[in-house]
Amino acid sequence: MSLRIEQMTIPGAPIKGLGTLPVFHSRKKVTVDTTEGFPEELKEGLGARWRFLPYKLQNRYTREHEQLTKKTIVLENDYLKAVFWPEDGAKLYSLYDKKRDRELLMCNPVYQPGNLAIRNAWLSGGIEWNFGNLGHNPFTCDHVFAAVLKDDEGEEFVRFYEFERSKTALYQMDFYLPEKSEVLYSHVKLINPTDQDKTTYWWTNIAIPEVGNTRVMSNADMVVGIAKQGLGYERMPYLSYFNGKDLSYPDNAELAFEYFFQTPAEEKSAWEAGTAEDGNIFYERGTNPLLYRKMFCWGNTKGGKHWQDQLALPGKGYYVEIQSGIASSQLHDRKFKAREVIEWTQCFGGLKLDETQLHQEDYHAAAKYVGEHIEKALSEETLLAMDAKFRVLSDKEVAEKDLIHIASGWGALEQARLEKTKDGEFPKSMCFPKSTIGEEQRPWYQLLTEGKMPKENPADIPASWMVSEPWYRIAKEAVEKGEASWNLLFHIGVMLYEKMDEVNYVPEASCWPEYEKYALLAKEAFLKSIEIQPSVWAYRCLFCIERDAENFDRAEYYYDKVFEMEAATVDYEFAAEYMHFLNGRHKYEKALTIYNSLPEEIQNQERMIIRMAQTAVKLDKLELVEKCFDKTYAGIKEGETSLTTIWFEYCARKMAKERGIENPTKEQIEELADEAWDLCPPPKNLDFRMSYDKKKKYRMEE
């Protein structure tokens, strides 16, 4: 087996910069409907939610490609070649089966971010490792640490790891490719280093090629499926809440959809496989608690195909996702106790089986056939033995000399805090060199070591955000000692307004009684910050507080204060957010006035073009709306229908003019838009729809 560092070139669109504004979590009560017969025990932990802070969004990319150089870490033996991207969350970009001369994964020919992850940017293809909160991994397009270690026989393996800030937790992934092994092993360890209970999340997300007649199978018969009526619970493969077809074949999906295989909790391992028409299969198998499996596909709509073309190249990036997780679905959280360690072993490989058996009409017989051959290829007994071995090795210490890739300084900063406050410790299995502390961490390191923050120019974009309770206590103590500055008070306001119940499951946590208390304290901190030094940052956050409390006039007042300041044009996100708010209040003339006042470079931003079109179509300024139709859009969010909504209203207003309808009412426009849905198909570049039901959008307007 060899382990080496290489480079590869790939055409792609690099991420150029980060978002500007802190994105607070939603305060709306989370509810998840279930269909009749849904088991009571599966309702526990149901209702996971997104959380963005303390991370900045990765929302600065286009669809203009250039040649990129990617660092790779390669594991290779006589059977497999595994290629990892340490600059992108340790994504397993490629897993090549040398024995059968085939790529096992959907190997994306381009590096093309799309707006599908918690920080926006996400890459299709390969295998990604999702830890923290619903919405992929905050490091899916970011660096993680990598170290090379040796097992007891002197064979090398690679460890990837990072400190996850939103949960104040750690994760590490050890990858092994033994000399005689036909599977790649991973051993994952999640660590809660604090004395606080919380919840956590993990899904291994695998993209396999969709080449036609792909079939997905697992050891479990029962699945949780996400349907229009809520979560359902039925036996594979004919699910009544979909279209009644055999849904082990993603080709039978009319729309994007997903379901989750429910392996009984007493099982010691679980598997999932994706089979091709020619008998080649990809399979993965994991030990308890990695018992749950998922299938996701984009469906056969134009929008679904467009999404896959957007994320790769036309016709070159069709895939089906098979995933594995530690909770019943991605709408479930899992308890993560204080100082708890959760770990398991998973393996990945390929087989060639009899295609007649794989595609027999009886799904359960086909799944049994696949399971028997997976057991022959890698028995549960062998997997459990490897798991026991890897658990011991997972404690192996990492020294700075072992590092082959460096990531952020947040782990080093948190380690420095723990050394000072003595309320937890990091394991020696991860090394966070102090030298990694950089500009993003500098204000917080000075706060930790000197008890104050450096002076900041209020016109400058803040370097970073912080939300954890220990850092709030440090900041509060500095204020009490007389070290209050506008930026320290502003950051305290961000921390207070982002506070949430991290111990209980959603939906209980989403109606946390403390929300109102912390909103008032946050407002007080922002107002004190403004007393010392007015800033667009504090005014904008006051807008968020009033908007979320539905004090809309007061919210508008605070955003007007933002736009009285020159720094409002430091970035497009201020105007994009304010125009969205004004459009929601039907203040279209004011929104267009804001747009027309902006520098041209801001007006030409993708999201600003959409905002302008959303505004102009309501004002019946169709010549302005047309400017958005010939663009190629990179940042449309998964499930977002803003472009097609603009298109159908544009068509409706044109139809009204053609029919001599002057000043059409809202109801008339809606009727004509329904007619346009059938008569005026949108151009492909605008069509990101994941549902073709006129009355029910798949997820969101945006």
Q: Is the pLDDT of residue 411 over 80?
A: yes
132: confidence class by pLDDT, cuts 50, 70, 90: confident
Query: Residue 693 has what pLDDT?
Result: 62
d(Cα 159, Cα 163) in Å, to the nearest integer?
A: 14
Residue 501 has pLDDT above 60, yes or no: yes
Give the residues across from 188 on adjacent strands. 173, 344
Residue 447 pLDDT? 97
320 strand-pairing partners: 208
CB 333 within 8 A of CB 274: no
Residue 699 has pLDDT above 80, yes or no: no
Read off the pLDDT of residues 236-283 as tens digits, 9 standing for 90 and up. Answer: 999 886 777 899 999 888 888 899 999 999 999 999 999 988 999 999
CA distance 403 to 161: 11
pLDDT in tens, 152-183: 999 999 999 999 999 999 999 999 999 999 99
Q: How far apart are CA 100 and CA 96, in angstroms?
A: 9
pLDDT at 698: 39
pLDDT > 80? residue 105: yes
Q: What's the pLDDT at 154?
A: 93
Q: Is the pLDDT of residue 187 over 80?
A: yes
The pLDDT of 324-341, averaged and rounded, is 93
pLDDT of residue 697: 39
Q: Which of 87, 91, 19 is nearest to 55 (CA)?
A: 19
Residue range 657-683: mean pLDDT, rounded: 91
Q: How much is the pTM?
A: 0.94
Q: Which residues contact 591 (CB under 8 A, 6 or more apart)?
A: 578, 579, 582, 583, 611, 615
**CATH number for position 354:** 2.70.98.10
Mean pLDDT of 539-543: 98
Structural domain contains residue 283: yes
- Please say if the pLDDT value at position 75 is more than 70: yes
User: What's the mean per-residue pLDDT of the chain?
Assistant: 93
pLDDT 10s digits, 2-17 = 999 999 999 999 999 9
Q: Among candidates 582, 575, 619, 625, which has minimal Cα distance to 597?
A: 575
How large is the average pLDDT for residues 480-493? 95
Mean pLDDT to the nearest integer, 120-128: 97
504 — pLDDT class (breaks 50, 70, 90)? confident
Q: Distance between terminal CA atoms of the chain? A: 47
Which of 201, 148, 176, 165 has its CA nearest to residue 431? 148
- Using left for φ > 0, alpha for ψ between -120 and 50, and beta otherwise, residue 291 falls in alpha
Calpha distance 351→282 (Å, rounded): 7
User: Is residue 594 included in any domain, yes or no?
Assistant: no
- Residue 365: pLDDT over 70: yes
pLDDT for residue 301 is more than 60: yes
Within-domain flag for 60: yes
Could you tell me the pLDDT band of residue 299, with boundaries at 50, 70 and 90? confident
Output DSSP code: residue 661. Answer: -
Q: How many distinct structural domains can be found in the chain?
A: 1
| Cβ neighbours of 33 (radius 10 Å) | 10
| Amino acid letter for position 16 | K
List the one residue out of 409, 340, 346, 344 whose CA is nearest residue 162. 409
Answer whether residue 426 is part of any domain: no
Supply the pLDDT for residue 424.
82
Position 118 scores a pLDDT of 92
Structure tokens at 164: 């996850």
CA distances from 351 to 293, 331, 374, 564 (A): 19, 32, 8, 65
**pLDDT tens digits for range 337-353:** 999 999 999 999 999 99
Band (pLDDT 50/70/90 cuts) for residue 700 is very low
**Dihedral (CA of 584, 585, 586, 587) sign:** negative
Evaluate if residue 216 carries a pLDDT over 70: yes
Are 582 and 591 contacting, i.e. CB atoms less than 8 angstroms apart? yes
440-453 confidence digits (pLDDT tens): 999 999 999 999 99
Residue 378 lies in a domain: yes
Question: How many residues are given for the chain?
Answer: 702
- What pLDDT was estimated at residue 77? 97
pLDDT at 509: 66
Confidence of residue 695 (pLDDT cuts 50, 70, 90): low
User: Whose CA is closest to 263, among 21, 42, 30?
Assistant: 42
3-state SS track over 481-494: CCCCCHHHHHHHHH
Tell me whether residue 572 is in a domain: no
- Rounded to an integer, what distance in angstroms lies between the CA atom of residue 445 and that of residue 428? 22
* Residue 259 belongs to domain spanning: 8-32+50-393
pLDDT at 43: 87
The pLDDT of residue 1: 85
Question: In sequence order, which ranges of 378-514 are alpha helices (DSSP H)?
Answer: 380-393, 410-421, 442-450, 469-480, 486-498
Greater confidence, 350 or 300? 350
